[in-house]
Structure 1
Amino acid sequence: MKEKTLNRNFIFLIIGQALSMFGTALLKFTLSLLILDLTSSATLFGTITAIGYLPPIFLSPIGGIIADRSNKRNLMIALDGLYGILAVLLVFSLSFPNVLILITVVMVGLSVVSSFETPIVQSSIPLIQGKDSLIQSNAIVSQINMIANLIGPLLAGLLYSAVGRTYILGVQIIFSGCAICFSSAAILEAFIKIPKISLSPISNPLHAIQKDLGESFHFLKSKQIYVFKAILLNAAFVLLIQPLITTGAPFIIRVVLNLSSVLNGLSQAFMGTAGLIGGIIAGMIANKFKTNKIYWLFWIMGMSIAVFGCTLLLGLSANLTYIMFVIIGIVIFTSASIAGIFIMSAIQQNVPKDMLGRIMSFYSAIVSIALPIGILFYGYLYEKFINHLPAIMFFTAIAILGIGYIGKKTYRHL
C-alpha cells in the first residue's frame, strides 16, 4: 500500500520549513535594503553580500557529518533557534553606532547556520517519506522555498518602504517578526519524529571528519560513480544556466534593450513563478516521468537558449526581444525546476540512509562553488562581448546540449 505524501511528520516539517524560509527571505532582503541605505555604495554592498557565499563552501561538508551523526530533529530546532537569536541581535544592533559591522557579522552568521540547515533538511526527507513519495515531497519543499523567495522580498520591500531606515522602530518590528517566524518553526519541528541512524562513535572530532569524508568520497568514486557524475553535471548546469539568466536579465533588459526597471522586475517575477510551476509539474508527473529522461529537459533548455540567440540576430524591436526573452526564461526555469527535483530525488534514492547528510552536503557545496564562479564568468562575458550576445547564447546552448548528451547515460543508471 502506497504511503501518503502528506503524513503527520512531513506536514510538521513543511510548515516549519515554510516559516523558517519565509523568515530568512524577509530578513535577508530587509538587510540588503538597509545596507544599501547605510552605505550608498554598490561596491561595499556587493562585498558584504559576497561574503555570504563563503561559509557554505567550507562548512557544508561539516554540516553533512553532523547531520549523519546527530539527532536531525534536535538540530533543526537548534538551528531555527539560532536564526531567531540572530534576528533578535539585529533588533538591538540598530541602536549601536557601528551598526554596519554588526549587520555584516549577523549576515555571516545567517550563512553559517544555512550551511548546516540545508543538508539536515535534505537528508531528513528520505527518512520520513517512502521512495514512492520522494519526488512529490521534494517538489513540495521546492515550491515552499520558491514561494518564500517570492513573497518574502515583496513583503520586505513593502514594509521597508513604509517604515524607512530613519524609522528605526519600524525596522526593528520587521526583525522581531522574523524572530517570531523562527521561534514558531522551532516549536513545530519539536513534534517531528525522524528515525535515528546509528554510526560507530568516534571520540576524536578530527578523526570523525577525516573518516566520514573519506567514506563519502570512496562511496561516490567507487560504489556510486553515477551519483558522483550526476552531482558534477548538475554543478556544471548551475554554473551555466542560472548566471546566464540572473546576471543576463538586468543587463539585457536595462543596458542592451534600454527598457524600464519595471519590466526588469516583471521578468524576475515571471521567472520565479516559472520555477514554482516547475515544482508543481514535477509533483504531478512523478509517477509518469522517468529519471532516465532528464536529458530531454536539458535539450529543451539548450534549444530554447539557441532560439533566443537567433532572435537577437534578427534585430527585432526592444519590446519583441523582451517578450521572447521572458518566454524563453519561463521555459528554462520551468524545465530547470523539474530537472533539479528529479535529480535531487534520484540522488537521495541511491544513497544509504547513514550517508545522506554527507552526500547532500557535498552536493550543496559543489553547487555553492559553481554559482559564484558562473556569476563572475557571465558578468565578464556580458561586459566584454556586449556586441556579440548571440555568440554567448549559442555557446551556452551548445554546452547545455552537451551536458544533456553526457548525462543521458548517467541518468539511466540512477
Structure 2
Amino acid sequence: MPLPNAFRALAHRNYRLFIIGQGVSMIGTWMQTTGLSWLVYKMTDNSFLLGLVSFCGQIPAFFLAPIAGVLSDRFDRRRTLFVTQAISMVQAVSLVALTWTGHIEIWQIIALSAILGTVNAFDMPTRQAFLSDMAPTRVDLPNAIALNSSMFNLSRLVGPVIGGALLAEWGATACFLANAVSYVAVIVALASMRDLPVRVAPRLGRVSRGVIEGFAYAFGFAPIRALLLMIAMVSLLGMPISTLLPVFAKDVLHGEAQTYGYLLAASGAGALTGALYLAHRRSVVGLGKPIAVATVTFGLCMVAFSYSTSVPVSCVILLIAGFSMLLTLAGCNTLLQTIVDDDKRGRIMSLYAMAFMGTVPLGSLLAGSLADAFGAPLAARINGVLCIAGAALFIMRLPALRKQVLPIYQRAGLVPPITAAVEAVAELQAAPEDA
C-alpha cells in the first residue's frame, strides 16, 4: 500500500495542527501518569491505593460522559476543548506546587485525580467527535481515527521513557511540570484552526431527553451495542493491567522506576504498531474478525505476563498485548464512527468514553483489590481468562452483525452493490431446504 494512503487525513490543515498539538500534550500526560503512579506506590507501598487513585481519576467518565455527549452535539466543540485543556493545565500546576513544597499527601492526589477525571469526561467524547469536523469526509475519517490512535500510542511510547528518566533524576515534580507546559501546544493548535465546518445544532429539548435518545439509539442497534460491550469488557478487564505495572516492576521483576518505564514503553510500542496497521487499511470493511482475534490474543498475553519473571520476556509480551489491545479499542472506535448517524455522533462518542474510560476505574479498583489479596500475577491471570471468554461470545455473533452493517456500508459507498447480492446468495445457500 502506498505510504501516503496511510497518512491521507493529514491533508486537512486543521487535523495536522490537532495531531501536532495533541501529540505534545499527550507526551506530557504520559510523563505525569508515570510519575504519579510511581509516587503513589512509593508513598503508600499499597496496591489498593494505587488502584483507588486510578479509580478516582476515571470514574467521573462513567457518570458524566452521557451528559457530555449531548453537550458535544449542541455546543461548539473547539471552545469546549479550550476549557478542558486549560483546567487540565491548572491541575498539573497544582501537582507541581504540592510536590515542590513537599506538602503532597495521598488525599490531595486522589482529589486532583478526581478533578482531572471530571474534565476528561467532557474532553474525551468532544475530542473524538471533533475528529469529524477536522477530517469531514467519511473516506478520511477512519484514517484520522487511526492516526489519532497512532499519535496517542507514540506518546505512550515516548512519554514513559522520558518520564522514567526524569523520575529517576529529578523526581515526580519534573514529570508534572513537563505536563503543565505541554498543554500550551494543544491550546495554540486549537487557536490556529480556521474554516471549521459550521454544524447546525439539533434542537433536542432537555439534556435528559438527549441522553435517553442516545442510549436508545446505541443499544437498539445490535452492532453498536456489541462494539460498546467489547470496549467495556477490554477496558474493565484489560486496561487495569497498567495500574498494576508498578507492582510487577517493583515486586515481581525486582526493578526500579526505569523498569516501570520500560514496561509502559513496550506496551506503547505494540499499540503504536497496531495503530499504524489500522492506518494502512484501505477500508473498515472486514475489520470485525481482526478485532475478535486481537481480543483473544490480548487475553492470552495477560495470562503469559502473569507468569513472567524476566524483564525482556515481559516487555515482549507487553509489546504483543499493546498491539492487540489497540487493535480492539481503536478498531471498535473506527467502526462506531463509520456506522453512527452524524446527528448522534457526540452521544455515541460519549458512550464510547463511558465504556472506554468509565469502566477502567471499576477494573482498576477490582484489580487492585485482587492484587492486594492474592497478588498481582493472579489478578492479571483471572482478567486474561475472562477477556478470552468475552471474545468468544463476540465471535459467535459476528456473522449476524456483518449483515446488519452491510446496508450502512452500501449507503456510504464503502461496499459496492454487488456485495449485497453475493451476501444474499450465500445466505440462501446456507439456509435449510424447507425454509
Residue-by-residue CA offset, 1:71-110 (whole Å, 9 max, x unaligned): 1111112221222222333344457675435444332222
Equivalence for 1:195: 197
> What residue number does 2:235 align with?
238
Match of 2:433 in 1: none
Matching residue of 2:288: 294
Distance 1:297 1:394, change over 3 A: same
1:354 Cα deviation (Å)? 2.6
Given the two structures, how large is their TM-score scaled by the length of structure 2? Answer: 0.75
State the aligned residue count: 392
Deviates further, 121-130 or 93-102: 93-102
| TM-score (structure 1 length as normaliser) | 0.79
Task: Give the equivalent residue in structure 1 for 2:218.
Answer: 220
SS at 1:5's partner residue? helix
**Aligned residue number for residue 391 of structure 2:** 400
**Residues 1:85 and 2:90 aligned together:** yes
Matches for 1:187-336 after TM superposition, within 5 Å: 187-193=188-194, 194-200=196-202, 208-222=206-220, 224-243=221-240, 246=242, 259-261=253-255, 266-287=262-283, 290-299=284-293, 301-302=295-296, 323=313, 329-336=318-325
Q: Does 1:133 align with 2:140?
A: yes
Deviation, 1:214, is 1.9
> 2:64, 2:121 within 8 Å by CA — same for their partners in 1?
yes
Check 1:260–1:30 CA distance in 2 against 1; reply closer, same or farther (3 A cut): closer
CA contact (8 A) 1:297 1:336 kept: no
Query: Cα offset for 1:128?
Result: 2.3
Distance, in Å, in 1 between the alignment partners of 2:229 and 2:368 is: 22
Which of 24, 29, 32 aligns to 1:24? It is 29
* Counterpart-to-counterpart distance in 2, 1:26 and 1:181: 10
Hey, what does 1:49 align to over in structure 2?
54
Change (3 A) 1:305 1:156: closer
C-alpha spacing 1:247/1:163, structure 2 compared with 1 (3 Å): closer
**Inter-partner Cα distance in structure 2 for 1:359 and 1:242:** 21
Q: How has the CA–CA distance of structure 1 residues 199 and 160 changed in structure 2, closer, same or farther, with 3 Å as cutoff?
A: same
Determine the structure 1 residue equivalent to 2:412.
Answer: none
Alpha-carbon displacement from aligned partner over 1:293-320 (angstroms, at most 9, x marks no partner)? 42244235426756997999xxx9966x
Match of 2:183 in 1: 182
CA contact (8 A) 2:298 2:324 kept: no
1:295·1:405 contact (CA, 8 Å) conserved in 2?
no
Equivalent of 1:409 in 400, 412, 434: 400
Look up the equivalent residue of 1:352 and give its one-letter code.
Answer: D
Q: Who is 2:411 aligned against?
A: none
Q: Which moved more, 1:224-233 or 1:60-69?
A: 224-233
1:5 maps to a residue whose letter is A
CA–CA distance in structure 2, aligned partners of residues 185 and 210 of structure 1: 31
Equivalent of 2:170 in 158, 163, 175: 163
What is the SS of the residue equivalent to 1:52? helix
Following the alignment from structure 1 to structure 2, what is the Cα–Cα distance between the partners of residues 335 and 41? 29
> Any idea what SS the aligned residue of 1:261 has?
coil
Preserved contact between residue 274 and residue 326 of structure 2 (Cα < 8 Å): yes
- Give the match for residue 151 of structure 1: 158
**Separation of aligned partners in 2, 1:69 and 1:111:** 22
Paired with 1:308 and 1:65, the residues of 2 have a C-alpha distance of: 36
Greater displacement, 359-368 / 150-159 = 150-159
Tell me the CA shift for residue 164 of structure 1. Answer: 3.7
SS at match of 2:286: helix
User: CA, structure 1 residues 122+102, in 2 after alignment: closer, same or farther (shift >3 Å)?
Assistant: same
Q: Which runs of 5+ in 2 are unaligned?
A: 406-435
Give the equivalent residue in structure 2 for 1:168.
none
Contact 2:160–2:264 at 8 Å: present in 1 too? Answer: no
Quote the offset at 1:125 in angstroms. 0.8
Q: Which of the numbers 112, 121, 127 marks the counterpart of 2:127? A: 121
Cα distance in 2 between the residues matched to 1:365 and 1:38:
30
Q: Which 5+ residue runs of structure 1 have no aligned equivalent?
A: 166-170
Deviations 1:370-408 (A, max 9, x none): 334444556677766979998886665344222222234
- Aligned residue for 1:5? 9
